[in-house]
Structure 1
Amino acid sequence: MNTLAQLKAGQLAGATRLDLCCGLTEFPREIFELADSLEILNLTGNALSSLPDDLHRLTRLRVLFCSDNAFTELPASLGQCATLSMIGFKANQISHVPAVALPPQLRWLILTDNRISQLPDELGQRPLLQKLMLAGNRLAQLPESLANCQNLELIRIAANRLTHLPRWLLALPSLTWLAYAGNPVEMAADLTGEDATPNIPWTELALGAVLGEGASGIIRQALWKPQSLPVAVKLYKGTITSDGSPLHEMQACIAAGLHPNLIKVRGRVVGHPDAQAALVMDLIEPSYRNLAALPSLASCTRDIYAPATRFSLDVALRMARGIASVAAHLHRHGITHGDLYGHNILWNEAGECLLGDFGAASFHAKADTLETRALQRIEVRAFGVLLGELLERVDGQVSEELLALHKNCCQPDVLARPGFEDIEALLDSLQHR
């Protein structure tokens, strides 16, 4: 984190990134002294409500974060920034998004947790748009012009007021990761699994070290005292994340039921002193690790793999089959995962894997309708992307059948993609040859 004193003293000359979080109420004009070099500007966590009209003077600016400020509209000056491609204004008070605020190179737009009820049609005139984060707003409809966004791969529209999913949305050729939970359109969850989930009193748990923390909550190691069983406890936050509601994530995690490639839910915590929602889950063996890291600012929608990551064909096949199997299981339960990514998969050297993080999960009808099929085939494309990433890292030759499967899963005609049960059957046959 930089300081305002450093900026004003000229100590940041030539900087390509600037991070300022110091209670700013006005945009520091000294930032313009970095115009020849500044590419990433992070002003998150201040008290700003406007940006200067001449922001375009930052001619190299590619990324701008202004989350957790006091903006009530997306600043019009953004639209004049010729190289600006990523904009983040999460958790403001924005109710107005003027068309002129959309820069021509827009690729990634984050407007999560605001007060937006309408978006401009001009949003569909940004052909590079790839990632659109709109969870936690007041949208009752989306601009039909978004049908023109052939590169749009990830969209988060959870916790809005949508009464239906537009046909054009479900037919977008590149759409891969979709989260729409918490809208009137979402089917009511089948909670038979929830009814069978045991309640575990908070007093029966002895909490240990923090194992991890994400947008939706904190995972702690714990001892379930009556069972003398080491477990993991996920404590959910109550705020809206980029994917949607953490409490909805918990509901989906329970409704998913049991599968070898899911982390087993032991029970729901009751009696937390602050009434915090929490789940008790199996503790994962330390041999498991994340398959990939989150996408970067540059990769946008693509995970980052360690350069040395390599697999035998057998291990890659085993992982692919496991993920296809658990995705088929979820779809039979009326659940789309919404975030089927390498960074949400834990694996070990034997190719055993677990799919986690239900933050973007949504419920759909279990009947085989065109809408249900489209929602499931969108997720098939996510599997296709993952399969491609695995195959790229295989030591040795990959069969034409696997390459054809990858291509078929990613084809632009959504309904022409195979379903997960067929994918699982094919991978099973290849694995046992």
Structure 2
Amino acid sequence: MTENPAHIDLWPAPHASAAVDATVHVPGSKSVTNRALVLASLAAEPGWLRRPLRSRDTLLMAGGLRAMGVGIEETVSSSSTVAGGPAASGEAWRVIPSGLQGPATVDVGNAGTVMRFLPPVAALADGPVRFDGDPRSYERPLNGVIDALRVLGARIDDDGRGALPMTVFGGGALDGGPVEVDASSSSQFVSALLLSAPRFNQGVEVRHIGSALPSMPHIRMTVDMLRNAGAQVDTPESGGEPNVWRVTPGAVLGVDLTIEPDLSNAQPFLAAALVTGGRVVIPDWPERTTQPGDRLRQLFTEMGGSCELTDQGLVFTGSGSIHGIDADLSEVGELTPGIAAVAALADSPSTLRGVAHLRLHETDRLAALTKEINELGGDVTETADGLHIRPRPLHGGVFHTYDDHRMATAGAVIGLAVEGVEIENVATTAKTLPDFPDMWAGMLGN
């Protein structure tokens, strides 16, 4: 974890003078958008992505696919912003598959989905594809994808690092077949192999070995989207072996897909209702979804709120009280920073468990949350697999983000209740939630 200089881009986090009462249009899901881009690029026919998220991570994914020859045409309403909202409903991307080509260079930024989902695609390209990214991307684990692709027949030059930068020497096809992967550090290792597997000559049989898999909802999302595109997938849930996923080789269909709102990105706005005792409506919240963010309904209700799915969307109301929580977040680790922020403002202690893998995310999120909340007067300690949070009166100060979008939004939540909080580099929220400062101000009526 590398701390950013405190003098860069300090954003005074708005302090809530009253209970919020707002409708917030949350942009499309990053996880769904980036999976859909990969599947559409491997399809046998053109497809449409409607209301996609346009953020740093999704534009990096689109850029990487374009570099390999995929056509992605954007239709953007001239009056809308990349932050989403009612005007964004007319946005669509038409994806036109073509023969994947090298040489190409892919900039992954610090996007886990890009650095992990595109190397299997590159193995299908005709020519070399070089992968590079932000300095932090060099530290994030990629060995699961690299080692698996080699077993499946790919040639990769990573200088033995098991990490970026690297070059995938695409041969126009990949044998595929059975492979063992330790995906305990990231479920994306499994999703990466499954997404491209219909195009492998033998498909794939991915067998997870090692400790418990984190973020299982994301694997279920991958499987559902593969099936929606015509792929045959056998999973543990469908009667297969535990920790084994099989994809049969075959054509990927071009689909016309409307992207759901990003429910994890709704978290800070729902937290605002909880923290201020107010009310927030999130339109278009799906009744059924594989998104991990849907669990916010349960978690934030346990912490003192109430919610209802209506024709308007999800209506979430805070009670004016925040309660501590003891929660296993292993399947929804990305929600941890926001839950930790709310827990630091609660009336009783919280224990967040099952998230040791967060030490390998955009930053070491457990160390970062502990340091930043404690520097505002909090009492947070790291455990082997999570955090223990004892609420204390907090004070203002600089809240560092470590180039991590969820750290920035967590700091903004604390700032609602604590005067004088300044977020360093709030612009990092553009990774998945463009224009967050304006959305936040709009929610508060500023």
TM-score norm. by structure 2 comes to: 0.33
Larger RCO (alpha carbons 8 Å, 6+ apart): 2
Structure ID, larger Rg: 1
Structure whose residues are more often strand by fraction: 2
Structure whose residues are more often helix by fraction: 2
